[in-house]
Amino acid sequence: MMGHGKAGTDKSEGGSSSALKGILLGALSVIVLAVVIGGMVIWLGIYKWGWENQVTDLAIRSLSLPIAEVNGSEIKYADFMDDVATLERFFDNQVAEGMPAEAVPTEQEMRENAFAKLVFGEVLKQEAAEYGVEVTDEDVEAEYAKLIEQSGGEEEVEAELELLYGWDAETFKEKVLMPFLMQKKLTEKLMEDEAFGSASKEKVQGLVDRIKAGEDFSELAKEFSEDPGSGAAGGDLGWFGRGVMVSEFETVAFALQPGELSDIVETQFGYHIILVDEIEEAEGEITRVKARHILISAANVEEYLEGKEGEAEVNKLIEI
């Protein structure tokens, strides 16, 4: 009797346990199915229907979803959203400070601008890697320290970044200083490439020959110089003392006599032709020079990267 009763109890508990498992598994499958379907709907919403709301924003950021591929490398959707928001904030501030509303780009123009910037940035990264260019944290911190020194202190810089862009210092370093230094280092690397710089060197040598043959220096500077500051003024740099120009330029300029033309001078900016107009001396030493120059960039990295951007395989995953 006792044995029979026990056996009956086990059977009852076993049936109850099986039923409970069935209920739990059924509920779980419903939850999983809902998550899967919900995920598919959000995925379609983002990539097919162009949804942008709090739910899709969370998915985009938490899953690091891409917005496009550039030569197989992903551009993050979250970066695109952040850059669009930055542009919107910037122009809101400009309008508050008096910019006419009609001068503000449309939302579509801002989106296209943000996307183009990200594509250009990815091409820059790829070319930098191709040439072995690396920007270290130390490089970025040193550049930021220089900016702070030139701009009145860290608090002032951080306040301006927050006001204009909604950025903290780290975001500024990542979005501005890192690509700036990368492009600068890539320029220096390309200038070491004789094949890359040969056309520029031939161009500047042709200008030297024309000046020596009697053509007007200032007119040639207006037509050909790639220095945006002095080119339109016929290459005129005005008066400058020691310590103002980069060392290679200064050494040659202070060694020339009035009316004397330099050979080709190479600096980090490219190739220069220098013509000294006047000098000032004190105790037999030249203290100031008045000069003109023509600059031909050795490595026009902007044009180079724009060409690479045009060649890049860009696969957009959504309509911008």
pLDDT score recorded for residue 49? 58
Q: Residue 173 pLDDT > 80, yes or no?
A: yes
- Which comes out higher in pLDDT, residue 57 or 220? 220
Residue of 127, 172, 136 whose CA lies nearest to 302: 127
The distance in angstroms from the start CA to the end CA of the chain is: 79
State the pLDDT confidence band at 236, using cuts at 50, 70 and 90.
Answer: very high
Does position 222 have pLDDT exceeding 70, yes or no? yes
pLDDT of 33 strictly over 50: no
- Mean pLDDT computed over every residue of the chain: 84
Residue 195: is its pLDDT beyond 60?
Answer: yes
Asked whether the whole model's pTM tops 0.75, one would answer no
**pLDDT score of 189 more than 70:** yes
Packing angle of the helix pair 178-191, 107-130 (nearest 10 deg): 50
- pLDDT exceeding 90 applies to what percent of the chain? 57
Q: What pLDDT score does 24 carry?
A: 47
pLDDT at 17: 62
Quick one: pLDDT band at residue 110, thresholds 50, 70, 90? very high
Q: Is the Cβ–Cβ distance between 173 and 158 less than 8 Å? A: no
Residue 124 CA to residue 272 CA, distance in Å, equals: 26
> What would the two tokens of residue 276 be?
């000294």
Q: Say yes or no to pLDDT of 15 above 80.
A: no
A 10 A CB-CB count for 218 gives 15
From CA 83, how far away is CA 113, in angstroms rounded?
A: 9
| pLDDT at 30 > cutoff 70 | no
Contact 298, 201 (CB under 8 A): yes
Which residues have C-beta within 8 Å of that of residue 106, sequence separation ≥ 6?
Answer: none
Length reported for the chain? 320
Over residues 77-98, mean pLDDT: 92
Q: Report H helices in the chain.
A: 2-47, 54-62, 77-96, 107-130, 137-150, 154-165, 169-172, 178-191, 194-212, 217-224, 247-253, 301-311
Structure tokens at 95: 């309008």
Q: What pLDDT does 312 receive?
A: 95
Lowest mean per-residue pLDDT among 104-118, 149-163, 220-234: 149-163
Residue 319, pLDDT score: 86
